[in-house]
Structure 1
Amino acid sequence: MPSPKHYVRRGFRLRGNTLVLLFIFFLIGLFLHYGGRTQPVVAFWNDIRRIIGIGPSNADRPERNPYKAPEPNEDVASDDRRRNPANDASEASDEASDETNSGNKVEMEQSGNARFDFEKQAGFILPVSKAEGTLVEHEGYTLHYRDEYKVADWVAYPLLAIELSGDAERDREQFRPDPLVRNGTALTSDYTRSGYDRGHLAPAGDFKYSQRMMSETFYMSNISPQVPQFNRGIWRELEELVRAWARRDNGLYVVTGAVLKPGLETIGRTTEVSVPEQFYKVILYCNKPDIRMIGFLLRNEPSDASLRTFVVPVDQIERLTGIDFFPKLPDNLERDLESRNRDAMVADWFSY
């Protein structure tokens, strides 16, 4: 009796292959949705936990870095509307009507301090730089932008105690190109994975009075490459000290910037951004008849030293930068203030 024939079905098997194809399409979908995340599996798992009502644990939350604002989803410099100062001003005007604490620029006369006659001159706070650059005036501060370095060599603004309190939040802001700089600023992507922080010259924390003015501090014209441990360490400590002095003294004039010179290291994917080796602050207090000035010069590197060790005569910073600070002071007074030595300035500023 012949043995029965066994037939084997070859080719496409509907049920098994369909499951495999569905799984492959599912993986492709996951890749397309989460491929841009640095940790796609973690991002997917956190999404699942949120859907079923289980939020990420504290261990899952990255440590908050107060010096890093969210990066734009797209390169906003390629958006023509961002390049047009008129559109930018129009947007700011529209947004201002929705803000509860935007206010107007706070003037030094609101400090309550008695003012010298020379303080009342237009542009009293503005330094004079020997180098060519672009003068850019925002509501909260004025800066001198050096296009060849893509960094400002000075930023100047009055700092009053009233400006240090308010509801403005830096978490709402993003770094973005400055629409008032004609030749363009660095892009935020120029700093990505460079090893340097996007370091503020005029700190966001000095403008809590107004969300609009705080937002201005995130223009890339106000940003300079800083070593992370410097930016988050000694530089932050100096910014906090200046704010403490502004509260104590009711108001100060602040000029801060980078020391720029040829041959600096550069970073940047699209733009060559110079990395300063040093940063400075020059601070002036006026309350007639009292007046005092102090300068700080710091290397762009981590430090655990006391801030007092970074105090230098202001004329030393002038020689190094080619910038004349507070040129509208009477000449004799300017020479006296700018030539004071470290011990005298420390005694003037740190003694109370």
Structure 2
Amino acid sequence: MNFINPYSKQRLARGAIFVCRVLLGSLAVISFSSSSHIDRRDTPTAPIPANIATREEFRYGYPGPVVDINAAEAYVSAYDRRTRNPHWSAEYLTKTNLLPNDPQTPPSPENNFSEDPTIPAQFRAGLSSYTGSGYDRGQQTPAGDAKRSQSALDETFVLSNSAPQVGKGFSRDYWASFENFVRDLTKEFDHVYVITGPLYIPTDAPPSGKATVTYQVLYGAGLGIAPISVPTHFHKTILVVKGDTTSPTSSALGLFIMPNAAIDINTPLINFIADIGKVEVSAGVVFFDKVDRASVQRLCDATTCKLNRQ
């Protein structure tokens, strides 16, 4: 099952992406020795669904899962306690909300990342895990999208909004230019909706129908530091609307997948167009389910999908 839409002209440089009858292999080996014991008293319990609340199986506790929702000023995100990365981060962008609320006192980025105190320590991404790792703290909602106020900007620097990204050639270059492309869409469309997140997928499926997902895990210094998984890829799903949202004159939808690796800045953006339905299977989430995909226009038919630096 090929992720890449036939609309794309080339495959990703790191190989075609498939999820056809994929049998995931061993992802990572983590030591659970007694020396890494974690105090779980600060771990909140998950709300148990009413239809199973009286089941005997859960007399002594319901395991979850728990999804930590962060309703920040400029974005809403869902945190994955297993990988210590966001499941996704959702944004709504316009020409107006990309500008400072008060032009006289624009926010000043201090680039001071911090751990998210709302996440239980047992599952919290730690600053020390990134130290010396060679990876950037890749904001899923970038600071450039949150310049409306100082508080909005500061909220993009919590680690629950970050995932490990290759710096040179990707986070600081191609991906950053891609983020600029998304912001520039507000000059052409009245409403821009964005969902961004990490992926953990094999690069190819051999004839046997089995494949292995391989990724690194970052360990921080000190006992009880939760390891952070390094995504193999990142996706960004974009819905643009012209006119009033209740009766839009036009809309377009597109999804892009990029490998977590250095990408030549001259690589055409359309190379990374992917099929939304197949990506949803891998991500385990549904993007813009209220949109009629049979009638919505493709984003790169509605606008020129090209980075400014190309």
* RMSD (Å), alpha carbons: 2.2
Higher helix proportion (structure 1 or 2): 1
How many angstroms does 1:196 deviate by? Answer: 0.5
1:286 is aligned with what amino acid?
V
Give the counterpart of 1:285 among 240, 259, 262. Answer: 240
Corresponding residue to 1:204 among 143, 149, 172: 143
Question: Cα 1:135–1:175, aligned 2, differ >3 Å: closer, same or farther?
Answer: same
Cα gap change, 1:233 to 1:160, in 2 (>3 Å) = same
Alignment equivalent of 2:270, drawn from 305, 308, 317:
308
Counterpart AA for 2:117: P
Cα distance in 2 for partners of 1:247, 1:185 equals: 37
Shift of 1:232: 0.8
The answer on whether the counterparts of 1:139 and 1:213 sit within 8 Å (CA) in structure 2 is: yes
2:88 is the counterpart of 1:154: yes
Please tell me whether the aligned partners of residues 198 and 225 of structure 1 are also in contact (alpha carbons under 8 angstroms).
Answer: yes
User: Shift of the alpha carbon at 1:240?
Assistant: 0.5
Are the aligned partners of 1:149 and 1:260 in contact in 2 as well (CA < 8 Å)?
A: no
| 1:295 aligned onto 2:246 | no
Work out the CA distance in 2 between the residues paired with 1:214 and 1:351: 27
Contact 2:190 2:241 in 1 (8 A): no
Q: Detail structure 1 runs of 4+ shifted over 6 Å in the superposition.
A: none
* Equivalent pair of 1:136/1:181 in contact (CA under 8 Å): no
Output aligned runs, 1:104-119, within 5 Å: none
**Match in the other structure for 1:232:** 172
**Residues 12-23 of structure 1: pairs in structure 2 closer than 5 A:** none
The equivalent of 1:243 in structure 2 is 183
TM-score, normalised relative to structure 2: 0.64
| Aligned residue number for residue 347 of structure 1 | 301
**Number of the residue aligned with 2:230:** 275
Q: Mapping of 1:155-174 within 5 angstroms? A: 155-166=89-100, 167-170=106-109, 172-174=110-112
In structure 2, the residue matched to 1:31 is none
- Quote the Cα distance in structure 2 between the aligned partners of 1:186 and 1:263: 20
Once the two structures are TM-superposed, the CA of residue 173 in structure 1 deviates from its matched residue by: 4.0
For residue 216 of structure 2, what is the aligned residue in structure 1? 265
Alignment of 1:81-96 (within 5 A): none
Distance in 2 separating the partners of 1:351 and 1:147 = 34
TM-score, normalised to structure 1, is 0.57
Letter of the 2:84 counterpart: K
**Aligned letter for 1:177?**
E
2:167 counterpart letter in structure 1: P
Tell me the SS of whatever aligns to 2:277.
Answer: helix
Cα separation, partners in 2 of 1:189 and 1:317, compared to 1, 3 Å: same
Match of 2:50 in 1: none
Distance across 1 between alignment mates of 2:173 and 2:239: 24
**Are 1:252 and 2:192 counterparts?**
yes
Change (3 A) 1:263 1:135: farther
SS state of the match for residue 350, structure 1? coil
Q: Structure 1 residues 264 and 133 mapped into 2: Cα distance closer, same or farther (>3 Å)?
A: farther
Letter in 2 for 1:326: F
Larger radius of gyration: 1
Counterpart secondary structure, 1:178: coil
Equivalent position of 1:145 in the other structure: 79
Task: Label 1:351 to 1:136 Cα distance change in 2 as closer, same or farther (>3 A).
Answer: closer
Residue in structure 2 matched with residue 74 of structure 1 by the alignment: none
The AA in structure 2 aligned to 1:180 is: T
Q: Please say if 1:178 is aligned against 2:110.
A: no
d(CA) in 2 for partners of 1:186 and 1:197?
14
State the alpha-carbon separation in 1 of the partners of residues 69 and 305 from structure 2.
Answer: 36
Letter in 1 for 2:182: V
Secondary structure, in 3 states, of the residue corresponding to 1:162?
coil
Higher RCO (C-alpha 8 Å, min separation 6):
2
| Closer, same or farther: CA 186–134 of 1 in aligned 2, 3 Å | same
